[in-house]
Amino acid sequence: MTPRQLKYFVEIARTGSITTAASTLHIAQPALSHHISGMEEELGVVLLERHARGVRLTPEGQRLLDRAVSILRQLDRLNDDVRDASTQARGTVSLCLVGSVAQVMTVPLFRLLAERAPEVRLQVSTGMSREARALVEARRVDLALLPVAYELPRLESVPAFEERFCLFGLDFLFEGECGPIRFAEIGDRPLVAPDRDHDLRKLIERTAMAHNCALNVQYELNNPELYRRVVQEGLAFAIMPRNAFADAEALGVVARDIIEPGIERTQSVVWMVDHPLTPAGEVVRTALLDVIAMLIADGTLKARDAGHPGDGRPGRVVARATVDPHPLRAIGKRHS
C-alpha cells in the first residue's frame, strides 16, 4: 500500500463520493475504484459501502482512515523534522484544549511560542473532554489537555494541574449561605450536568455513590455554554471545576467549594504512544506546561501545579497509562 493510495482513500472518505474524489484528485473514476479494490484485496476487508448518494466507511474503513491521516501527517512533516532536528524546531503542531480553559491559555501560549519557536505553527481546536479524547485517539491532533488521562490505553501523559470542584448557583438560591459546602448538603437541589458518558458526570456520580448521596440531575446538556446559562438563569445548580465558570462572580453566580469529600481531578497534557512527538511537538508541550505554571502563579488559573519539586522549577513525571486504571504511573522519564 502506497502513500498515494492512502491519499486517495482519505479524499474519498472526506467527500463521501468516489466521483467527487476522482474530480478533486484529477484521476479517472475507474482508476480510483481500481485503487480502492486493490487496497481492500490487500487488507482482506471491505473499506467502503456503496449507497445511492455515494459511499460510507465500514468500521474497518474508519480504522484505516484514522491511521492514514496520522501517517500522511507524519510524512508531510518528515522534511522539517529531519532537516532541523539539530537546530531550531519547526513545523505544524495540532493541540486540542478543553473549552473551560482554552480561553485563558490560548493567547499566552501563542505569545510564548512566538518568542521561543517562531518556526513552529500551532493549530488549536477546542471541545469538551470527550471530543478532545476522540481527537487524540484518532491521531487527528498531536497533543491535548485532558482529565482522567490514566483511563486511556496506549497514552503518554504529563500531569499539568489539579483543580477543585465547586457548586455553582445564584446567590439568592443559597439563601444567604456561603463558604464551603459538604457534598451531602447538595441534597435534592436541582442540577444541570453532562450526560452519563461524560468524564465530569462519571466523576461526580462515583463520588455520590461512594458516599451514598443522591443526585437530582434535572437537566442534561453537553454544551458548557448552555449549562452555564442554565445556572445563570437560576434553573439549576452545577457541580463543575472552578475554572469552568471563570466569570461566575461577575454574573452574580456564587461558587462554593465542595468538601467532605472534596472533588478534584488532574488535567494532563497527553499524546499517543504510537504517535510520538516531533521536536516541534515537544516545544509546544513544554511551552503549554510553562504557560499553565505562569497562569497558576498569577491567579488566572484556579488550580494547583501538578509538578513535583526538583531542580528549582516544577518538574513533572511523564507517565504511560495502561488498561489497568490505576493513577498515573511514572516510567522514569522526567519533563525538563
What is the CATH T-level fold of the domain 81-162+266-334, as seen in this structure? Answer: D-Maltodextrin-Binding Protein; domain 2 (3.40.190)
pLDDT of residue 136 exceeding 80: yes
C-alpha cell of residue 53: 448518494
Phi/psi-derived region of residue 130, left when phi > 0, alpha when psi is between -120 and 50, beta in every other case: alpha
pLDDT for 153-188, tens place per residue?
677 888 999 999 999 999 899 988 889 999 999 989
Say whether 263 sits in a helix, a strand or coil.
Answer: coil
- Domain 171-264: CATH class, spelled out: alpha beta
| Greatest extent of the chain over all pairs of C-alpha atoms, in Å | 73
pLDDT of residue 110 exceeding 90: yes
pLDDT for 9-18, tens place per residue?
888 988 899 9
The correct CATH number of 3-66 out of 3.60.20.10, 1.10.940.10, 1.10.3720.10, 1.10.10.10 is 1.10.10.10
pLDDT: which is higher, 139 or 256: 256
pLDDT of residue 313 exceeding 70: no
Neighbouring-strand partners of residue 145: 269
Cβ proximity of 91 and 81 under 8 Å: yes
Cβ proximity of 140 and 150 under 8 Å: no
Record the pTM: 0.67
137 Cβ contact partners less than 8 Å away, ≥ 6 residues apart: 66, 152, 272
Q: Looking at residue 172, what DSSP letter applies?
A: G
> Please, what is the average pLDDT of the chain?
83
Task: Supply φ then ψ for residue 160, to 5 degrees.
Answer: -110, -50
Domain residue spans in the chain?
3-66, 81-162+266-334, 171-264
Number of other residues whose CB lies within 10 A of the CB of residue 250: 7
pLDDT for 45-74, tens place per residue?
999 988 888 888 998 888 888 778 777 776
pLDDT of residue 220 exceeding 50: yes
Most confident of 102-116, 190-204, 218-232: 102-116
Is residue 29 packed enough to be buried (19+ CB in 10 Å), middle (13-18) or exposed (0-12)? middle
Pairing of strands 155-170, 238-241: antiparallel
3-66 shares its CATH topology with 171-264: no
Q: At what angle do helices 3-15 and 59-83 cross, to 10 degrees?
A: 130
